[in-house]
């Protein structure tokens, strides 16, 4: 019955919905779980706090919306401000560290990544969301590296696979370097920085 | 017959309800779509317009929903399976030519991705408040078929069924999604074309001289001739005789409208479709449809934990309504609890069928979201007190 | 009544247009000296002389006196809803592209309630022939004001004279993109027939306006005499001006009516444009709908 709720937010054009779509697809198709994604629509979807939510479960997802997410991914300040309070007290915060300056809470695992800079290093800032996705995949390990990578490959526009996979790897590797061996310590350090 | 592989995107996909519905239409053999953009339904035609050119289909974006529906009825008379897609405000405009489709006995499918109303209401947020409009929205007496999917997978599967029913009964089938299902992305498995059963447009074998477009021949559904095959038939929205000629008389009206209603009512046992679970010995039955049927199951679980025996009816075909079964159940349970995203529409049907033999409990939600499962649990608990 | 039927049967045998009409529906509902029947006769003659494949010809009407035309034609005939003949015809044409589709309806139906569809079908250059019989009034419902009622003319809802500016329909059609635009009166039998033939031979959105007497309502409400008097008026007051600037062909009350062919050009139709675009962008992947339609056979 384990159910994981995820909220991803950012500004319009950052690829928020695609990130959610890839995670959902990796869970539902590659990993054979149940994953329901709902994206925000209308003016909200175009503004600076665009958002998408996912409910992932081993059993059928009945209630499609999320209440208090277990994982919150923030790629813009406005999105962070709008949704930060929903995050479960022990939920995981993941953020673009050059764009979002979170107020870290005691006991809350949090992980920052300079995804925009990493994307720029690959030559295309537009793949920032995929760098972030690689990082999120590494932090949460909700599906395997291969499953999430497979979903990226299947979801991005044809011809852009190599770039996007490189972006995914950059995000994943960043996690391994910065937090990999000493995950607990890093999170604790991040929390105590609050 | 089996589906034309050209329209079938076999495989496991991660799709929202709107896209899945579009895929269902193409798999069902739909090759003409006329539409007008309206949130939250537009993704269906966006999907169609991207894929149609590769399978011999034509999409046209019309000037409004009046035109879209008229074009769909016109196209269907060529034998080309046709559908349109809309939401509340557009559904209101389509009512005119949905009536024409009923009167001319034109197979077609109309998808309504329901949002909050009345009027412009909540364009991007969910509702289920057009259920009675689906039944009664066009003027005059008539019967048609309406369905409601609870997931993107069903948006695919049931869209095919909707097209098949439209062909079998020569009637518009209204596909009553809700925004929540329409904009919800989940796994959708599309089977190979040779595993999808579709009902093709059956053309009359009569010779042109012998053919009368509305001669039912003891069947309830007359045979069909398409435009351009030399039958030179006449069809009209006026009350008409078997030749399709206008006849302004109470007798002709009675004969025609009675048959239009009987072809659905008389086949209701074949058309009605619902899921039933644990109703034997239940204290309360929860009846719901669409997204609410999923949310209700969480509320039902909560009530079961408190020891209440709760049965479930989930409507798949909403119109015609499963009158017979609801009448039976009304004699065995204390209450039928009906959560829906409106202030009480299908509950009126439950109340009518229950006829006072059990309580009918409305669990309303005004739209813009789905029920809190605990509200549904509370209603169940209240009903067994 | 039986006398009428006998007459109809006799007509069926001898009248040259009989094969094109549903003689079992004659007598028709139109008033004596109404102009609609004449327009139908001209259209039928044009069909015959153009040798079109009648099995592949569909006719669509809306609602109103002219809206009954489809009902009398021995073709695949659709008596649709008020104002929606053009979008209905659009569906027929796109559902089976080989069909020749004509819309036959009145001024109230096509330019009032159906005005939006009219301008958009012209804009798209939808490949249909639109015949609009303009009698300046709503006939079937009893003589109410129409979008074509001339300034000052009386109608049952403008009993003191119309004060709304009417449409100049040829100009409307031309500016929206119609490739063939002509206007005649029901007096111009030969010219109208020729115009029908010409339009049948063209492709795209073709528009022919035919001014015709509504003897029962328009003539009576305006004390213009009978249908015969109106024909007399057409005789005296029409001017044929082919190629006239459509801005100049508006109709004032009991004033000169400019007739003729105003527009005759060739432009790709909706379907031509669609095929070109898809072929250009999709190449071999593009699969157009077969000419005989998207009907999936068993
Ligand atoms: S009312 Fe006028 S337009 Fe109608 S049939 Fe009579 S004369 Fe013709």
* pLDDT per residue as tens digits for the range B3-56: 999 999 999 999 999 999 999 999 999 999 999 999 999 999 999 999 999 999
CB C91 within 8 A of CB B34: yes
Phi, psi of B206 (to 5 degrees): -65, 155
| B37 vs C: CB within 8 A | no
CB A175 within 8 A of CB A109: no
B232/C116 CB distance under 8 A: no
B279/B191 same-domain check:
no
pTM for the structure as a whole: 0.95
Q: Is residue B102 part of a domain?
A: yes
Spacing, Cα C190 to ligand 1 middle (Å): 22
CA dihedral C92, C96, C98, C101 (to 10 degrees): 0
Question: Across the strands, what pairs with C158?
Answer: C155
Where residue A106 falls (left for φ over 0; alpha for ψ -120 to 50; beta otherwise) is: beta
Please, which pLDDT band fits residue C13 given cuts at 50, 70 and 90?
A: low
Q: How far apart are CA B290 and CA A16, in angstroms?
A: 27
Find the distance separating the first CA and the last CA of chain C, reported in whole Å: 48
Q: Is residue B21 part of a domain?
A: yes
Predicted confidence (pLDDT) per residue in A117-151, tens digit:
999 999 999 999 999 999 999 999 999 999 999 99
CA C41 to chain CA centroid, Å, is 13
C298/B1 CB distance under 8 A: yes
Please, which pLDDT band fits residue A191 given cuts at 50, 70 and 90?
A: very low
Q: Is residue B211 part of a domain?
A: no
Predicted confidence (pLDDT) per residue in B249-294, tens digit:
999 999 999 999 999 999 999 999 999 999 999 999 999 999 999 9
CB atoms within 10 A of CB A182: 11
Q: How far apart are CA C41 and CA C58, in angstroms?
A: 17
Across the A:B interface, residue pairs with CB atoms under 8 Å apart total: 57
Give the pLDDT of residue B362.
Answer: 98
CB B91 within 8 A of CB B120: no
Cβ neighbours for C158, distance < 8 A, ≥ 6 positions apart: C145, C149, C164
Residue nearest to atom 3 of ligand 1 (CA): C214
Look at residue C287 and tell me whether its pLDDT is greater than 50. yes
Query: Where in chain A are the domains?
Result: 3-191
A37/B123 CB distance under 8 A: no
Q: B98 to chain C: which residues are within 8 Å by CB?
A: none
What would you report as the CA-atom Rg of chain C, rounded to the nearest whole angstrom?
19
Determine if ligand 1 sits within 6 Å of the CB of residue C34.
yes
**Which structural domain, as residue segments, surrounds residue B343?**
274-383
Cβ neighbours for B242, distance < 8 A, ≥ 6 positions apart: B212, B213, B214, B215, B216, B222
Do the bridges between strand A92-96 and strand A71-74 make them parallel or antiparallel, or are there none, so unpaired?
A: parallel
Task: Please give the domain boundaries of chain C with CATH numbers for all domains.
Answer: 26-285 (3.40.50.970)
Predicted confidence (pLDDT) per residue in C147-201, tens digit:
999 999 999 999 999 999 999 999 999 999 999 999 999 999 999 999 999 999 9
C88/B234 CB distance under 8 A: no
Mean pLDDT, to the nearest integer, of C86-97? Answer: 98
CA dihedral C210, C215, C216, C218 (to 10 degrees): 70
Q: Is residue B249 part of a domain?
A: no
Spacing, Cα C31 to ligand 1 middle (Å): 5
Look at residue A190 and tell me whether its pLDDT is greater than 50. no
Question: Of B136, B163, B195, which one is at a domain's C-terminal end?
Answer: B195
**Closest partner CB to B74 (pick from C75, C88, C270):** C88
Residue nearest to atom 6 of ligand 1 (CA): C31
Residue nearest to atom 1 of ligand 1 (CA): C139
**Which of A142, A129, A64 lies closest to A99 in space, CA to CA?**
A129
Task: Specify the number of domains making up chain B.
Answer: 2
Look at residue C82 and tell me whether its pLDDT is greater than 70. yes
Phi, psi of C283 (to 5 degrees): 60, -130
Q: Is residue B164 part of a domain?
A: yes
Look at residue A182 and tell me whether its pLDDT is greater than 60. no
User: Is omega for the bond preceding C28 within 30 degrees of 0, making it cis?
Assistant: no
Give the pLDDT of residue A107.
Answer: 86
Determine if ligand 1 sits within 6 Å of the CB of residue C216.
yes
Cβ neighbours for B86, distance < 8 A, ≥ 6 positions apart: B35, B36, B38, B41, B65, B68, B94, B110, B111, B112, B113
Give the pLDDT of residue B2.
Answer: 97
Q: Is residue B237 part of a domain?
A: no
Residue nearest to atom 2 of ligand 1 (CA): C214
Determine if ligand 1 sits within 6 Å of the CB of residue C215.
yes
Look at residue C225 and tell me whether its pLDDT is greater than 80. yes
Chain C: residue nearest B73 by CA? C88
B148/B23 same-domain check:
yes
**Closest partner CB to A38 (pick from B184, B187, B297):** B184
What are the structure tokens assigned to B265, written together?
């009512």
What are the structure tokens assigned to B198, written together?
């579709």
Spacing, Cα C210 to ligand 1 middle (Å): 14
Determine if ligand 1 sits within 6 Å of the CB of residue C139.
yes
DSSP C88-146: HHHHHHHHSTT-EEEEEEEHIIIIIITHHHHHHHHHHT-S-EEEEEE-SSBTTTTSB--
Q: Where are the alpha helices (DSSP H) in chain B?
A: 17-28, 42-51, 65-76, 88-104, 131-136, 152-169, 179-182, 250-265, 268-271, 291-305, 323-330, 346-354, 373-384
Phi, psi of C134 (to 5 degrees): -105, 110
Residue nearest to atom 5 of ligand 1 (CA): C30
B87/B185 same-domain check:
yes
CB B245 within 8 A of CB B214: no
DSSP chain A: --EEEEEEEE-TTS-HHHHHHHHHHIIIIIS--EEEEEE--THHHHSSSEEEEEEEESS---S-S-SS-SEEEE-SHHHHHHHGGGS-TTPEEEEETTT----PPTT--EEEE-HHHHHHHTT-GGGHHHHHHHHHHHHH-SS-HHHHHHHHHHHSPTT-HHHHHHHHHHHHHHHIIIIITTHHHHHHHHHHT-
B171/B309 same-domain check:
no
Determine if ligand 1 sits within 6 Å of the CB of residue C200.
no
Residue with tokens 């009637």: B171
Least Cα separation, residue B82 to chain C (angstroms): 9
Give the pLDDT of residue B217.
Answer: 78
**Closest partner CB to A25 (pick from B14, B370, B373):** B14
Give the pLDDT of residue C5.
Answer: 55
| Collapsed DSSP state (helix, strand, coil) of residue B283 | coil
Determine if ligand 1 sits within 6 Å of the CB of residue C30.
yes
What would you report as the CA-atom Rg of chain A, rounded to the nearest whole angstrom?
15
In ligand 1, which atom is closest to the CA atom of C215? 7
Give the pLDDT of residue B218.
Answer: 79
Best probe of the B interface among C82, C176, C294, by most B CBs < 10 A, is C294
B177/B301 same-domain check:
no
Q: A57 to chain B: which residues are within 8 Å by CB?
A: none
Cβ neighbours for C43, distance < 8 A, ≥ 6 positions apart: C102, C104, C131, C193, C196
DSSP C210-242: EE---IIIIIHHTT---HHHHHHHHHHHEEE-T
Least Cα separation, residue B259 to chain A (angstroms): 41
Q: Is residue B103 part of a domain?
A: yes
CB atoms within 10 A of CB C4: 10
In ligand 1, which atom is closest to the CA atom of C33? 7
What percentage of chain C exceeds 90 in pLDDT?
91
B67/C116 CB distance under 8 A: yes
Determine if ligand 1 sits within 6 Å of the CB of residue C221.
no
Least Cα separation, residue B244 to chain C (angstroms): 9
Give the pLDDT of residue B106.
Answer: 98
Question: Of B131, B166, B195, which one is at a domain's C-terminal end?
Answer: B195
**Closest partner CB to B185 (pick from A24, A44, A62):** A24
Give the pLDDT of residue A192.
Answer: 41
In ligand 1, which atom is closest to the CA atom of C106? 3
Least Cα separation, residue B125 to chain A (angstroms): 8
Q: How far apart are CA C18 and CA C11, in angstroms?
A: 7
CB B208 within 8 A of CB B224: no
**Closest partner CB to B78 (pick from C25, C70, C92):** C92
- With touching defined as 3 or more inter-chain CB pairs under 8 Å, the answer for chains C and B is yes
A63/B294 CB distance under 8 A: yes
Look at residue C114 and tell me whether its pLDDT is greater than 50. yes
pLDDT per position in chain B (385 positions), as tens? 999 999 999 999 999 999 999 999 999 999 999 999 999 999 999 999 999 999 999 999 999 999 999 999 999 999 999 999 999 999 999 999 999 999 999 999 999 999 999 999 999 999 999 999 999 999 999 999 999 999 999 999 999 999 999 999 999 999 999 999 999 999 999 999 999 999 999 999 999 999 999 998 778 899 999 999 999 999 999 999 999 999 999 999 999 999 999 999 999 999 999 999 999 999 999 999 999 999 999 999 999 999 999 999 999 999 999 999 999 999 999 999 999 999 999 999 999 999 999 999 999 999 999 999 999 999 999 999 8
Q: How far apart are CA B109 and CA B287, in angstroms?
A: 25
Q: How far apart are CA C159 and CA C163, in angstroms?
A: 11
Superfamily of A3-191 according to CATH: Pyruvate-ferredoxin oxidoreductase, PFOR, domain III (3.40.920.10)
B185/A63 CB distance under 8 A: no
Least Cα separation, residue B2 to chain A (angstroms): 26
Look at residue C86 and tell me whether its pLDDT is greater than 90. yes
Determine if ligand 1 sits within 6 Å of the CB of residue C33.
no
Best probe of the B interface among A38, A62, A150, by most B CBs < 10 A, is A62
Give the pLDDT of residue C10.
Answer: 57
Which subunits sit against C, judged by 3+ Cβ pairs under 8 A? B
Q: C90 to chain B: which residues are within 8 Å by CB?
A: 34, 60, 62, 67, 70-71, 74
Spacing, Cα C142 to ligand 1 middle (Å): 9
Q: How far apart are CA C273 and CA B326, in angstroms?
A: 54
**Which of B202, B205, B215 lies closest to B169 in space, CA to CA?**
B202
Give the pLDDT of residue A163.
Answer: 97
Mean pLDDT, to the nearest integer, of A145-171? Answer: 97
Q: A21 to chain B: which residues are within 8 Å by CB?
A: 14, 185
Determine if ligand 1 sits within 6 Å of the CB of residue C38.
no
B184/A63 CB distance under 8 A: no
Question: Of B195, B221, B238, which one is at a domain's C-terminal end?
Answer: B195
CB B91 within 8 A of CB B130: yes
| B62 vs C: CB within 8 A | yes
Q: How far apart are CA A64 and CA C57, in angstroms?
A: 52
Q: How far apart are CA C258 and CA C240, in angstroms?
A: 6
Phi, psi of B224 (to 5 degrees): -115, 135
In this structure, what CATH number is given to the domain that contains residue B299? 3.40.50.920
B123/A42 CB distance under 8 A: yes
Q: Is residue B145 part of a domain?
A: yes
User: Is omega for the bond preceding B118 within 30 degrees of 0, making it cis?
Assistant: yes
Give the pLDDT of residue C8.
Answer: 60
Please, which pLDDT band fits residue A48 given cuts at 50, 70 and 90?
A: low
Chain B: residue nearest C120 by CA? B63
Q: How far apart are CA A146 and CA A28, in angstroms?
A: 14
Spacing, Cα B281 to ligand 1 middle (Å): 68
- With touching defined as 3 or more inter-chain CB pairs under 8 Å, the answer for chains A and B is yes
Look at residue A188 and tell me whether its pLDDT is greater than 60. no
Give the pLDDT of residue A40.
Answer: 75
What would you report as the CA-atom Rg of chain B, rounded to the nearest whole angstrom?
21
């Amino acid at each position: 019955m384990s159910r994981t709720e995820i909220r991803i937010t950012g500004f319009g054009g950052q690829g928020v919905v695609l990130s959610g779509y890839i995670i959902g697809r990796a869970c539902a198709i590659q990993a054979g779980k149940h994953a329901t994604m709902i994206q925000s629509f209308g003016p909200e979807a175009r503004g600076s706090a665009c958002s998408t939510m996912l409910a992932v479960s081993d059993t059928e997802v009945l209630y499609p919306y999320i209440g208090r997410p277990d994982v919150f991914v923030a790629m813009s300040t406005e999105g962070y401000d709008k949704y930060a309070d929903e995050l479960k007290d022990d939920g995981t915060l993941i953020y673009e560290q050059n764009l979002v300056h979170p107020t870290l809470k005691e006991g809350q695992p949090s992980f920052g990544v300079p995804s925009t800079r990493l994307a720029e290093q690959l030559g295309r800032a537009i793949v920032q969301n995929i760098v972030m996705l690689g990082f999120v995949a590494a932090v949460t390990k909700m599906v395997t590296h291969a499953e999430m990578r497979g979903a990226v490959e299947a979801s991005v526009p044809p011809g852009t696979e190599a770039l996007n996979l490189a972006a995914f790897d950059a995000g994943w590797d960043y996690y391994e370097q910065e937090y990999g061996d000493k995950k607990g310590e890093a999170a604790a350090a991040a929390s105590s920085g609050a | 017959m089996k589906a034309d592989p050209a329209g079938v995107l076999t495989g496991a996909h991660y799709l929202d309800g709107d896209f899945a519905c579009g895929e269902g239409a193409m798999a069902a053999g739909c090759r003409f779509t006329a539409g007008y953009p309206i949130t939250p339904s537009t993704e269906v035609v966006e999907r169609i317009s991207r894929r149609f050119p590769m399978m011999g289909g034509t999409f046209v974006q019309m000037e409004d929903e009046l035109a879209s529906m008229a074009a769909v009825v016109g196209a269907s008379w060529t034998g080309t399976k046709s559908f349109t897609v809309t939401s509340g405000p557009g559904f209101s405009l389509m009512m005119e030519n949905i009536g024409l489709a009923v009167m001319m006995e034109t197979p077609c499918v109309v998808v309504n991705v329901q949002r909050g109303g009345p009027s412009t209401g909540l364009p991007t947020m969910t509702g289920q408040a057009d259920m009675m409009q689906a039944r009664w929205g066009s003027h005059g007496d008539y019967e048609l078929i309406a369905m409601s999917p609870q997931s993107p997978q069903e948006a695919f599967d049931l869209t095919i069924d909707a097209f098949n029913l439209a062909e079998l009964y020569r009637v518009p089938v209204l596909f009553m999604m809700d925004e929540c299902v329409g904009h919800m992305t989940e796994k959708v498995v599309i089977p190979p074309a040779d595993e999808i059963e579709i009902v093709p447009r059956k053309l009359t074998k009569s010779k042109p001289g012998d053919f009368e477009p509305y001669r039912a021949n003891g069947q309830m559904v007359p045979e069909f001739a398409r435009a351009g095959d030399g039958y030179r038939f006449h069809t009209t929205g006026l009350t008409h005789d078997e030749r399709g000629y206008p006849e302004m008389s109470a007798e002709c009206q009675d004969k025609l409208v009675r048959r239009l209603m009987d072809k659905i009512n008389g086949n209701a046992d074949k058309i009605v479709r619902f899921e039933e679970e644990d109703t034997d010995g239940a204290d309360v039955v929860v009846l719901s449809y669409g997204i609410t049927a999923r949310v209700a199951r969480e509320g039902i679980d909560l009530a079961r934990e408190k020891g209440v025996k709760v049965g479930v009816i989930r409507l798949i075909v909403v119109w015609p309504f499963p009158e017979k079964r609801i009448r039976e159940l009304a004699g065995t349970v204390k209450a039928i609890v009906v959560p829906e995203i409106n202030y009480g529409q299908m509950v009126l049907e439950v109340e009518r069928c229950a006829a006072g033999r059990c309580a009918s409990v409305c669990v309303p939600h005004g739209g813009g979201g789905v029920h809190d499962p605990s509200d549904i649990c509370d209603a169940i608990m209240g009903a067994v007190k | 009544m039986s006398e009428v039927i006998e007459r109809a049967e006799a007509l069926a045998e001898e009248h040259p247009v009989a094969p094109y009409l549903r003689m079992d529906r004659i007598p028709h509902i139109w008033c004596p000296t109404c102009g609609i029947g004449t327009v139908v006769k001209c259209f039928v003659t044009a069909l015959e002389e153009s040798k079109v494949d009648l099995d592949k010809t569909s006719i669509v009407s809306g609602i109103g006196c002219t809206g009954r035309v489809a009902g009398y034609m021995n073709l695949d005939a659709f008596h649709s809803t008020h104002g929606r003949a053009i979008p209905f015809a659009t569906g027929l044409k796109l559902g089976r592209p080989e069909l020749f589709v004509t819309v036959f309806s009145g001024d109230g139906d096509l330019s009032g309630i159906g005005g939006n569809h009219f301008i958009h079908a012209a804009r798209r250059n939808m490949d249909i022939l639109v015949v609009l019989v303009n009698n300046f009034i709503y006939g079937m419902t009893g003589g109410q004001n129409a979008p074509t009622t001339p300034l000052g003319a009386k109608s049952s809802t403008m009993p003191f004279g119309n004060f709304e500016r009417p449409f100049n329909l040829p100009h409307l059609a031309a500016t929206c993109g119609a490739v063939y635009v002509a206007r005649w009166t029901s007096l111009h039998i030969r010219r109208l027939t020729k115009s029908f033939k010409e339009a049948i031979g063209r492709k795209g959105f073709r528009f022919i306006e035919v001014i015709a007497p509504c003897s029962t309502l328009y003539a009576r409400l305006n004390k213009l005499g009978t249908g015969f008097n109106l024909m007399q008026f057409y005789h005296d007051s029409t001017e044929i001006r082919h190629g006239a600037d459509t801005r100049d062909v508006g109709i004032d009350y009991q004033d000169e009516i400019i007739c003729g062919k105003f527009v005759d050009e060739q432009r790709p139709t909706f379907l031509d444009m669609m095929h070109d675009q898809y072929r250009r962008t999709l190449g071999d992947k593009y699969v157009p709908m077969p000419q005989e339609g998207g009907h999936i056979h068993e």
